[in-house]
Amino acid sequence: MDKARLPATARPRRHWRRRLLALFVVFAALAWLLQPQRSGPFMLARLGESLGLQITVQSIDYRLRGTPEVTLDGLVVTQPGHPEPLLQARHARIALPWQTLRSRGNPLVFDRIEVEAPRLDLVATQRWLASRPPAPPTKIPLITHGIGLRDGSIVAPDWRIEGISITAATLHPRQPLHAHVAGRYRDATISIPARLEIIIADPQALPDGMASTIEARGTLALIGTDWALPAQLVAHAPLRFGEGTIRMDPAKLGIVGRYRSGTTSVPFRLGLYGRIIHAESRWTFDPATAVLAGGDVLPEVSVRGSAVLGEDLRLHLAGSMASWPQAWPALPAPLAGSRSPFGLTLDYAGAPALDALISLALRRDATRFDARFRRADVVAWLDATAGSPLPPLQGTLATPRLVLPGATLDGVEIEIEDSRTTSDAVTP
């Protein structure tokens, strides 16, 4: 008999059993998905396996109404076999629209990302990255309602950046990113708090290995044990990442600030231009051009050279000083009457706080002055109300003629010695 003509009640019951079984599987899956304490660790474990990491949380929750949202508390990310975490976070919240879920992340669109107290261990992260196979360039997601990161930190063996906060109203991979960034750099000798507004013209260009213009403006300060240098900063450069380096070439920086130590307070303006490269934990500014001015106290100086900042600071600068500052002691004749600029060379190698010897050479016409001194000693001499009329330095002065009240000296050579200034060599 033709099965197509059988009444519905005569159809095999196995069809209904299959439907009931399918419905049971769907409801079981939904029940499991609605229990974050079960499904959350499972999904994090699968994600960790794909990355070669172990990801754990103290608690996980999510909601599916409206915009789906995942909340993680007590996030800890480690590399198997290494106890120290790459990343920790007190709290993280990720909201992503249904279209991202339906499209399986292609394109990758988030509604908002918030992270509280993330802590990144730089050494552990670099070790994990070195263990990973080559990967295609990272694709920056679209985040429609922005980023909120607060109280973050990056930790390295000799330095750390703490109190990091980043806020941005939106992030589009191919549109300018406007972000507010704050944080404080610290090492054994110096602290640098900063609060900046940053604009990156093309965010996706950076992971693609291409250059993108970056602009920054805001405030920062360099703070040592006995001195501080608060300043306002404006910067502009094409930025490029690649092969473990950060490159800005050419970078333009304008700084207006004030040097403070004890009772000394000196305003200044500094313009910098040149190539900046970060590689192997060192910042290199070479070639560099700098222009310094500071009213009556600081001379107008224009120099070229190089600066390298890592565990120590190395400077080699050469150029000219336009004139003798009015606030400095008056020069004797015939130096005072000369209109020639001063040739200038400065070398330094030591702690970033400028605690080591500074080597300075000045030339004007046939007169030469070579000196070595310590910044702290000179600042203390300037602050003192009484004491030696000569600054605390070690050096030599050679000039063909020196005119003093009541005397004219020819073929003058003067050596200046100070017990506080040693003969430590300064390497260019």
Which range, 24-38, 162-176, 347-361, 383-397, has the best average confidence (pLDDT)? 162-176
Contact 267, 295 (CB under 8 A): yes
- Which positions ≥6 away from 161 have C-beta within 8 Å? 153, 154, 183, 184, 185, 186
Between 94 and 50, residue with greater pLDDT = 94
Burial 310-348 (b: 16+ CB within 10 A, else e): eeebbbbbebbbeebeeeeeeebebbeebeebbebbbbb
What average pLDDT does the structure give for the chain?
A: 83
Q: Is the pLDDT of residue 159 over 90?
A: no
pLDDT digits (tens, 9 = 90+) for 61-105: 877 667 778 888 998 999 998 889 999 999 998 887 776 656 555
pLDDT tens track for 249-287: 999 999 999 989 888 888 999 999 999 998 887 889 999
What's the CA gap between 118 and 41, in Å, rounded? 20
Say whether 210 sits in a helix, a strand or coil: coil
Strand 212-223 relative to strand 191-200: parallel, antiparallel, unpaired? Answer: antiparallel
pTM above 0.85, yes or no: no
Region 113-136 average pLDDT: 87
Rounded to an integer, the average pLDDT of 238-249 is 89
Q: What is the DSSP letter of 38?
A: H
Confidence of residue 141 (pLDDT cuts 50, 70, 90): confident
Lowest mean pLDDT among 16-20, 45-49, 206-210, 338-342: 16-20
Q: How many CB atoms within 10 Å of residue 259?
A: 20
Q: What is the rounded CA–CA span in Å between residue 330 and residue 376?
A: 23
Residue 30 has pLDDT above 70, yes or no: no
> In this structure, are residues 224 and 353 in contact, taking their beta carbons and an 8 Å threshold?
yes
How high is the pLDDT of residue 188?
81
DSSP H helical segments within 114-155, as ranges? 122-131
- Assign 1 a pLDDT band (cuts: 50, 70, 90): very low
- Would you place residue 236 in the very low, low, confident or very high pLDDT band (cuts 50, 70, 90)? very high
Go through the chain and tell me how many residues it has. 428
The answer on pLDDT for 426 being more than 90 is: no
Which of left, alpha, beta for 79 (phi over 0: left; psi -120 to 50: alpha)? beta
pLDDT band for position 17 (cuts 50, 70, 90): low
328-354 pLDDT tens trace:
777 888 888 888 999 999 999 998 878
128: left (phi over 0), alpha (psi -120 to 50) or beta: alpha
Beta strands (DSSP E) in 108-227 are: 109-110, 112-116, 119-121, 142-143, 147-155, 160-168, 177-186, 191-200, 212-223
CA dihedral 242, 119, 198, 315 (to 10 degrees): -60
